[in-house]
C-alpha cells in the first residue's frame, strides 16, 4: 500500500449539514401540521389532503438538470423540493404462468449461477420450493467471472438429469472479487435455452451513475430483470432495494391477484400504472423510491458518480504494492 491520500468531500461537514437542514425543516413541518388542524386559525381544508394525479406529480418532481447536478449546495432549492413533498403528500410465473395456480406440478426446475454468487440465490431456491439441489453452481474463471463454457455444460447436465432450465443468475460486482460476469455471452445462452436472465446488481449495478465505470454493465440491457441496492454504494439510507424489469406490466402478470376492493386504475392498459402494490409479493412496504429520489435530487448524478469513482480509487490504492 502507498501513503497516497485520496481526497473526497462527499462526507465533509455531514453533521453540521444535517443539523442545519433539520433546524430549517422543523418550522416547515409544524406549519403544515397547523394548516391541517381544524381548530387553528391558519387551518386550510385541503392542506394535506389535496389530490394530484400521478402524471402531474411525476412531471412536478422530475427535473433532469437538477438530477444531474444535485441541489446540495443550493439550500433554497432543497427546501423548494421539501415544500413540494409536503404539499403533494418475477421468473417462474412469466415463463410458466400456470404455476401461479398449480405450483410446479411435477416439474423439476433448474437455476444456474456462478460459484461466487451471493448466498441469497440458494436461499431463494429453497423459499420457492425448488430446493437447493436445483441450483447448479457454475465454475468461474481466474478473474472471478462466470465461465460461460461451464454454464453450457451445467445446462446440458441438468437436462440429462430431468430438470427444466428456468433461470440464470449473473452478477454485477461479486462479493468475493467484485467481478462483473460477461452479460452479453450469458444473454446469448439464455436466449438459446429460453432461460430467464437475471442480473444481481445489488452492489455493482450502482456504477451506472459513473461515466468512468458504467461500461462494466455492458450487456445488462439484455437482462429480463435486474436487482440494485442504492444503499450499498450510493450512501442512501438502508434499506433501499429495487427489482427492475423492462416492462412494468410484467410485475402484474407474475404477481397480481384480483382484489378490486384494494387495487384500482388498471382498466385502461394504455395508461401508465402507478399502483404497483399488486405487483409484489407483499402488499405494503416502505417507500424506498422516496429515499432514493431525495438522495438523487440532493447529490445529483454528478455526486453519485463521485461516490462511485471514489470507491474504485480506494480499491486501486489498497491493491498497490
Is 291 contained in some domain? no
Q: What are the grid coordinates assigned to 1, written together?
A: 500500500
Residue 282 has pLDDT above 80, yes or no: no
**Cβ atoms of residues 253 and 276 within 8 Å:** no
Is 221 contained in some domain? yes
Based on its alpha-carbon atoms, the radius of gyration of the chain, rounded to whole angstroms, reads 23
**Cβ atoms of residues 8 and 310 within 8 Å:** yes
**Cβ atoms of residues 201 and 241 within 8 Å:** no
Is 56 contained in some domain? no
Q: In whole angstroms, give the CA distance from residue 73 to residue 52.
A: 29
Task: Give the distance, in angstroms, between the CA of residue 288 and the centroid of all CA atoms in the same chain.
Answer: 9
Is 241 contained in some domain? no
Q: What is the pLDDT of residues 20-46, one digit of tens each?
A: 777 777 777 777 677 767 777 777 766
Residue 61 has pLDDT above 60, yes or no: yes
- Confidence (pLDDT) at 180: 97
Is 280 contained in some domain? no
Look up the CATH number of the domain holding residue 172.
3.40.640.10
Buried b (16+ CB within 10 A) or exposed e, 1-15: eeeeeeeeeeeeeee
Q: Tell me which range, 14-18, 245-249, 265-269, is most confidently predicted by mean pLDDT.
A: 245-249
Residue predicted with more confidence, 5 or 293: 293
Number of domains in the chain: 1
- Confidence (pLDDT) at 93: 66
Residue predicted with more confidence, 137 or 319: 137
Is 163 contained in some domain? yes
Closest CA to 211 of 309, 135, 105: 309
Q: Which domain holds residue 139?
A: 107-228
- Stretch 146-160: mean pLDDT: 97
Is 218 contained in some domain? yes
- Stretch 72-80: mean pLDDT: 58
Beta-bridge mates of residue 169: 113, 198
pLDDT band at residue 284 using 50, 70 and 90 as cut-offs: low
Q: In whole angstroms, give the CA distance from residue 262 to residue 278.
A: 9
Q: What is the pLDDT of residues 198-252, one digit of tens each?
A: 999 999 999 999 999 999 999 999 999 999 999 989 989 888 888 888 877 776 6
Q: In whole angstroms, give the CA distance from residue 124 to residue 248.
A: 22
Amino acid at each position: 500500500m502507498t501513503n497516497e491520500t485520496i481526497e473526497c468531500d462527499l462526507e465533509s461537514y455531514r453533521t453540521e449539514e444535517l443539523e442545519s437542514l433539520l433546524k430549517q425543516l422543523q418550522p416547515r413541518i409544524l406549519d403544515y401540521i397547523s394548516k391541517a388542524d381544524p381548530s387553528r386559525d391558519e387551518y386550510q381544508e385541503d392542506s394535506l389532503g389535496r389530490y394530484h394525479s400521478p402524471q402531474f406529480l411525476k412531471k412536478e418532481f422530475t427535473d433532469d438538470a437538477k438530477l444531474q447536478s444535485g441541489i446540495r449546495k443550493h439550500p433554497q432549492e432543497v427546501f423548494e423540493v421539501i415544500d413540494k413533498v409536503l404539499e403533494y403528500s418475477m421468473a417462474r410465473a412469466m415463463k410458466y404462468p400456470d404455476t401461479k395456480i398449480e405450483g410446479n406440478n411435477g416439474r423439476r426446475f433448474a437455476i444456474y449461477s456462478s460459484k461466487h454468487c451471493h448466498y441469497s440465490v440458494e436461499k431463494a431456491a429453497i423459499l420457492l420450493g425448488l430446493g437447493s439441489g436445483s441450483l447448479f453452481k457454475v465454475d468461474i474463471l481466474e478473474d472471478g467471472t462466470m465461465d460461460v463454457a461451464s454454464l453450457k455444460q451445467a445446462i446440458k447436465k441438468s437436462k440429462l438429469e430431468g430438470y427444466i432450465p428456468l433461470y440464470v443468475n449473473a452478477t454485477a460486482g461479486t462479493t468475493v472479487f467484485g467481478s462483473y460476469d460477461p452479460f452479453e455471452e450469458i444473454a446469448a445462452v439464455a436466449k438459446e435455452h429460453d432461460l430467464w436472465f437475471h442480473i444481481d446488481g445489488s452492489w455493482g449495478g450502482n456504477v451506472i451513475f459513473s461515466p468512468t465505470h458504467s461500461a462494466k454493465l455492458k450487456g445488462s440491457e439484455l437482462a429480463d430483470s435486474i436487482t440494485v441496492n442504492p444503499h450499498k454504494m450510493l450512501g442512501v439510507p438502508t434499506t433501499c432495494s429495487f427489482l427492475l424489469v423492462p416492462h412494468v406490466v410484467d410485475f402484474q402478470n407474475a404477481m397480481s391477484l384480483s382484489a378490486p376492493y384494494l387495487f384500482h386504475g388498471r382498466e385502461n392498459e394504455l395508461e401508465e400504472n402507478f399502483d404497483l402494490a399488486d405487483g409484489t409479493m407483499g402488499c405494503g412496504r416502505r417507500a424506498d423510491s422516496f429515499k432514493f429520489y431525495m438522495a438523487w435530487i440532493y447529490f445529483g448524478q454528478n455526486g453519485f458518480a463521485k461516490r462511485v469513482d471514489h470507491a474504485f480509487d480506494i480499491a486501486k490504492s489498497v491493491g498497490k504494492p
